[in-house]
A = this chain, B = another copy of it.
Amino acid sequence: MDPLQQLRVWMSSRGLKVTIIPSNDCHFDEYVPARSQIRAWLSGFDGSAGILVVTASAAALWTDSRYFLQAERQIAGRGIDLMKLKMPGTPSIPDWIKAQCAASGTSPEEFIVGVDGDLFSYSDFEDFKGQLAPVPMVTFSDPFDSLWSGRPAMPDAPIVLHREEYAGRSASEKYHDVISSLGVQGCFALFVSACDEIMWLMNLRGGDIEYNAVTLSYALLTEKGETLFCRRESLTPEAVAYLASQGIEVLGYDEIDAALDAVSPQAVRIVSNNCCSVNKYNILSKAGRMAPDPTVGGTVAMLRSCKNTIQSEGFRRAFLQDGVCWVKLLKFIYDNYADGALSEYSITQKLLEIKRGSENYCGESFEPIVAFNANAASAHYSFASEEESARIEGGGFLLMDLGSHYPYGTTDTTRTIFLGKDDPTEEQKRDYTLVLKGMIDLAEAIFPAGTRGCQLDILARGPMYATGKMYFHGTSHGIGQWLCVHESPQIRMEYSPVTLQPGMILSDEPAVYVDGSYGIRTENVIQVVPFAETGYNSFYKFDTLTLVPIDTRAVDYDLLSPHQVQWLESYNKKVYESLKDLLSPQERQWLLTWSA
């Protein structure tokens, strides 16, 4: 029996007419472990975003434009309709469910919708419930251990200490920072379900999710102290000793519900970042008063985003090593590509070899992207082997987006280089230069306290608009320290109320994608630092952390302002000066020549 049919049998046994399966797990982080990829198991569609809705006789999958082609291919033949989000005529999930109800002839009150109460946030659950009424919505608990034969086990990666010499602050100090920032007095309970917030809070790191140094866990902070809920057996002795030294109690991952239930009725209950599952929310709110997380962007998340001096030094150290690895890789490419010997795959293998030789290397911070010409224009290009990947032949743009974890910092750098004997076309030069122009303009921004990322976004996007082109992803994301490479805050066209604050580390990555031809993206990482205090306000600017030379071969200097030309020249010079003593004589000479 195929997975959908198994689910339907189970639904029928429970009296459910509809089930909604989202993409996330119970921690609402960006990535989920394999055992939580239930929508992929049921539908075949394994993209990062999609919601599957199943009734006794129908099923439909909602996803966004990034995934239309992939989803269509993966769900083919399974009896699932593709629902293209934001396209004319696509019904909302509640409208579709109501239409199914009407078609089935069941009365709305009996067309019961069931969802896993650990996979719906409280606010999403309430929204759906309001929109579905009079169709009722109920919760159930994960039934897939029995339904999904061969379901991957819970991850079991060790949970290790993140040393204070890198974190810059003890777990106990962070606990007090959080309380002071929450502004609570007396009896309270802060419930944290985001794994990366917990890692930061406790100075721990895990490995449960590829590229993301987190462990599946919960945390509960009260005025009496804090408790970590995780797989105790995965904690290293060093981590156990540290937690004890910080007065942190450790309980099992499954003991969280009982702990939420036991919160003092007098305690003001706060859900970190205003996000937790409806199941947990209901337990927590049963016996006492809920209060919102008072900090825009989340109290814990905002403290985590503003890197302290020691963390900032650590990131700079990581970017020095990142620069050295890039120079080695670039030199390898230029030394070898001319005879057609290289492929996207072999370049990726070489870069991993180089990275593994880098001191304190803790692994890549995301799946490396190496894409030649048209491959770089497709939003989700990847390959599994030499054969699937493209050979570097005939010249053109090679886009590489690479990042690594070190205990003291995480890197994320994109460079697009122009290879081959031919000159770039006028359009290629214009596009390359306008991307670079946007990257520089954002990096050079000066702005007052209170500025939000979405207010600066136009600086990176604006230069390209005059060509009638644009990119459809965010300009920027925060970067965690040996944690998640995507961290708040984000700089996107969409609104976010989070303001940029000193210490925040962000990517700066404008781009352009020309279908069937090429993709260009240039990404540096920048940090918010003080600029000036005046009678008008506090002003901030960005410091650039990335130390990787920028290819000037496709630059059209007529499109850059004199200031931008100067920025580019001094940037490549700074890269050389910063890296030269860390390179071999050959590498040094190569860099000097290439980026001159």
CA–CA, A535 to B468, complex, Å? Answer: 8
- Quote the shortest CB–CB distance from A85 to chain B (angstroms): 15
A468-B532, A468-B536, A536-B470 known; A493-B459 Cβ under 8 A: no
A456 CB-CB contact with B under 8 Å: yes
- The stretch of A122-130, A159-167, A444-452 that contacts the partner chain: A444-452
A462 CB-CB contact with B under 8 Å: yes
* A455 engages B539 (CB within 8 Å): no
Contact of A455 among B447, B468, B493, B536 (CB under 8 A): B493
CB-defined interface of A440-471 with B at 8 Å, one 1/0 digit per residue?
A: 00000111101110111111001001101110
**Interfacial chain B residues near A537, Cβ < 8 Å:** 468, 470
A149 CB-CB contact with B under 8 Å: no
Q: Give chain A's interface residue range (CB within 8 Å of chain B).
A: 20 to 34
Q: For chain A residues 238-280, which have a beta carbon within 8 Å of chain B?
A: none
* A446 engages B458 (CB within 8 Å): no
A3 CB-CB contact with B under 8 Å: no
Contact of A465 among B446, B454, B535 (CB under 8 A): B446
Max count, chain B CB within 10 A of own CB: residue among A452, A454, A462, A493: A462
CA–CA, A454 to B458, complex, Å? Answer: 10
Chain copies in the assembled complex:
2
CA–CA, A447 to B534, complex, Å? Answer: 32
A497 CB-CB contact with B under 8 Å: yes
* B459 engages A462 (CB within 8 Å): yes
**Interfacial chain B residues near A470, Cβ < 8 Å:** 448, 536-537
**Interfacial chain B residues near A468, Cβ < 8 Å:** 531-532, 534, 536-537, 539
* A454 engages B451 (CB within 8 Å): no
- Quote the shortest CB–CB distance from A121 to chain B (angstroms): 22
A561 CB-CB contact with B under 8 Å: yes
Nearest residue, chain B, Cβ from A468: B534
A495 CB-CB contact with B under 8 Å: yes
**Interfacial chain B residues near A454, Cβ < 8 Å:** 454-455, 495
Nearest residue, chain B, Cβ from A472: B536
CA–CA, A531 to B451, complex, Å? Answer: 29
- Quote the shortest CB–CB distance from A259 to chain B (angstroms): 30
**Interfacial chain B residues near A497, Cβ < 8 Å:** 495
**Interfacial chain B residues near A459, Cβ < 8 Å:** 458, 462
CA–CA, A462 to B447, complex, Å? Answer: 7
**Interfacial chain B residues near A458, Cβ < 8 Å:** 445, 447, 451, 455-456, 458-459
CB-defined interface of A98-127 with B at 8 Å, one 1/0 digit per residue?
A: 000000000000000000000000000000
* A495 engages B495 (CB within 8 Å): yes
* B539 engages A493 (CB within 8 Å): no
**Interfacial chain B residues near A446, Cβ < 8 Å:** 462, 465-466
Residues of A that sit less than 8 Å from B by CB: 445-448, 450-452, 454-459, 462, 465-466, 468-470, 493, 495, 497, 515, 531-532, 534-537, 539, 561
**Known contacts A447-B458, A455-B455, A561-B561, then 10 further A-B pairs from the complex at CB < 8 Å, ordered by chain A residue:** A447-B462, A447-B465, A448-B465, A451-B493, A454-B454, A454-B455, A458-B458, A468-B537, A468-B539, A495-B495
Those 9 A-B pairs whose CB atoms lie nearest each other, nearest first: A468-B534, A446-B465, A468-B532, A470-B536, A446-B466, A469-B536, A455-B458, A495-B495, A448-B470
Q: Can you list 20 residue pairs at the A/B interface with Cβ under 8 Å?
A: A445-B458, A445-B462, A446-B465, A447-B462, A447-B465, A448-B470, A451-B458, A452-B495, A454-B455, A454-B495, A455-B457, A455-B458, A458-B458, A458-B459, A468-B534, A468-B536, A468-B539, A469-B534, A470-B536, A515-B535
